[in-house]
Amino acid sequence: MSPHKGGFAATCRRPIMQLSLETGSSCAPDASTVAVLAKRRQKVEEMHFGLTEEQDLIVSTVRAFVENEIYPHEDEVERTGEVPDDVAEAIKEKTKELGFYACNFPEGVGGAGLGHLDFALVERELGRGSMALTHFFGRPQNILMACKDDQIERYLMPAVRGERMDALAMSEPEAGSDVRGMKCTAKRDGGDWVINGTKHFISGADHADFFIVFVATGVDETPRGPKKRITTFLVDRGTPGFEVRDGYKSVSHRGYKNMILEFDDCRLPDAQVLGEVDGGFAIMNEWLYATRITVATMCVGRARRCFDLALNYAADRKQFGQQIGKFQGVSFQIADMITEIDAADYLTLASAWRLDEGLPANREIASAKVYASEMLARVTDTTLQIFGGMGLMDDFPVERFWRDARVERIWDGTSEIQRHIISRDLLRPLNA
C-alpha cells in the first residue's frame, strides 16, 4: 500500500497537527508560549507524509523480505510453537546481508541509523509476519546506547553485529503496570550487588545471551509516600545465581516465547550497571519511551495483511447467488475496516514524525498505541466474521491474527495505562 504519497500530504497534514495545537492551547497562552506555538506551526506547515525514494525502498525491501523469508515458515511455527535454529540463523544472516540488522541503531556504532519514521516503516512491514520469526530480524533494545566503558565491546557492539541477543526484563508477578512496585532487589555487599527476585513474561529470553534487568536499589520517602529507586543491570546468561525458566503458554504469537527469570543471591559487580546507580527510570524514559510506536506500527502492518484477506474473501465467496461483498452488511464492514486502518497508520506515523522533529510525543504515541491495538482487535474480529466458519479454522491465518491481536492491548503498557497517559497529559496542565 502507499497511502502516504502525493495527494495525501495535501489533504491530511493539517487536521492531525491542528488537533494537537488546539488541545494544547485551551488556556490563554503567554508570549513565550505563543512563540513556541508559532515555531511549531511553522513545522506543521513543513509536515508531509509523502515517502522519499529511500523510504519507498525501505518499505518494498522489508515487505519482500517478510513475504519471501518469513511467510514460508509461519505454518510450521504455528504447528510446533518453535522456530527451528537453522531458520532463525538464516533470517539473522539475511537481515545482516540486507544491512537491516540493528537498523534502529546509529551508523556510528554499526547500525543503519534510521530515524523514528523510517524505523516505524520497517516495523509496520515486519508486523505482517509472525513475531516469532521477525524477532530474528534483529532490533536490539536502543537502551544499549547507554553502555559505557567495556560494556560497549561486551554488549552494545555484539548486539548490533547480531552476535549476541538481548532481552529486557521489567515485569514481575506482582508488578506489571505498577513498575515501581517491583520486588526484585539489588543490595550492596562489599563492592558487589546481590540480586534476589523474579521477573516474568520476558519475551525472547529463550534466545537471549544477556538481559537488561530493572531492579529496586532503594526507597525514597516522598510526600506522596515511599518511592522505589530503580537501577538497570546487564546480566549474562549463565551468571551464577541466575536462572532462565520456561514461562507461560500464550494464545498470542506462538513460538514467541516469554520466560521467567529467577535471581537467587546473584552477585554482580558495579561494571554490570547500565547507566547510573538509581538511574533506571531516567534511562527507561530516555530509551524505552518510543517502543510503544513499535507495537502500534506492527498492528497496522498486521491489520493490512488481514484486511487483504477479508477483501478478497468478500469478493470471492458467494451466498444467495452473489458475492458476499455485494451485501451491504459486508461491504460496510470492509469500508469501516480500511478507514480505521488508515486512521491508525496516520496516527502512528505522525507520532514517529513528531519524535524525529523533536516535538513532544508522549500523548501522541499513547494514542497511536491504544488506537492501533484496539483497531487490530476489531479488524481481525470482523475479518473472522466475514470468513464465517472457515475463519475459525487453521486453513487460513485469520484465526491466528485474531488470537495474536489480543496481546497488543496488554504489553508495552495496557490500553488503560495509555489512556491514563493521554488524559494526564491533557489534564495536568489544568491542575486537574
Ligand X SMILES: Cc1cc2nc3c(=O)[nH]c(=O)nc-3n(C[C@H](O)[C@H](O)[C@H](O)COP(=O)(O)OP(=O)(O)OC[C@H]3O[C@@H](n4cnc5c(N)ncnc54)[C@H](O)[C@@H]3O)c2cc1C
C-beta closer to ligand X: residue 257 or 304: 257
Quote the least distance from Cβ 181 to ligand X, whole Å.
9
The kind and range of the H/E element at 196 are strand 192-203
Q: Which of 277, 420, 425, 426 binds ligand X (CB under 6 A)?
A: 420
- Name which of residues 152 to 191 contact ligand X (CB under 6 A): 168-171, 176-177
Quote the least distance from Cβ 249 to ligand X, whole Å.
10
Q: How many helices (H) and strands (E) does the chain have?
A: 15, 10
| Side chain identity at residue 422, one-letter code | I
**Interface with ligand X, residue 242, by CB under 6 A:** no
- Name which of residues 245 to 274 contact ligand X (CB under 6 A): 250, 258
Burial of 145-169, coded b for 16+ CB within 10 Å and e otherwise, reads bbbeeebeebbbbbbbebebbbbbb
How far apart CA 118 and CA 179 sit, in angstroms, is 30
Chain centroid to CA 216: how far? 25
How far apart CA 398 and CA 380 sit, in angstroms, is 7
Residue nearest to ligand X (CB): 176
Quote the least distance from Cβ 193 to ligand X, whole Å.
19
Q: Within 13 Å of residue 164, how many CA atoms lie on the same side as its CB?
A: 21
Quote the least distance from Cβ 261 to ligand X, whole Å.
10
**Interface with ligand X, residue 366, by CB under 6 A:** no
C-beta closer to ligand X: residue 147 or 205: 205
Quote the least distance from Cβ 191 to ligand X, whole Å.
28
**Given the DSSP bridges, would you call strands 258-268 and 242-246 parallel, antiparallel or unpaired?**
antiparallel
How far apart CA 211 and CA 266 sit, in angstroms, is 13
Please choose, out of 277-285, 324-332, 334-342, 414-422, the segment that lies near ligand X by the rule CB under 6 A: 414-422
Quote the least distance from Cβ 281 to ligand X, whole Å.
14
Please choose, out of 182-190, 199-207, 215-223, 229-237, the segment that lies near ligand X by the rule CB under 6 A: 199-207
Contacts with 417 (C-beta within 8 Å, 6 or more apart), sequence order: 177
How far apart CA 280 and CA 289 sit, in angstroms, is 13
C-beta closer to ligand X: residue 171 or 351: 171
C-beta closer to ligand X: residue 248 or 332: 248
C-beta closer to ligand X: residue 359 or 410: 410
C-beta closer to ligand X: residue 337 or 407: 407
397 to each of 87, 134, 431, how far by Cα in Å?
20, 16, 48
**Interface with ligand X, residue 410, by CB under 6 A:** yes
- Binding residues for ligand X, per CB under 6 A? 168-171, 176-177, 201-203, 250, 258, 407, 410-414, 416-417, 420
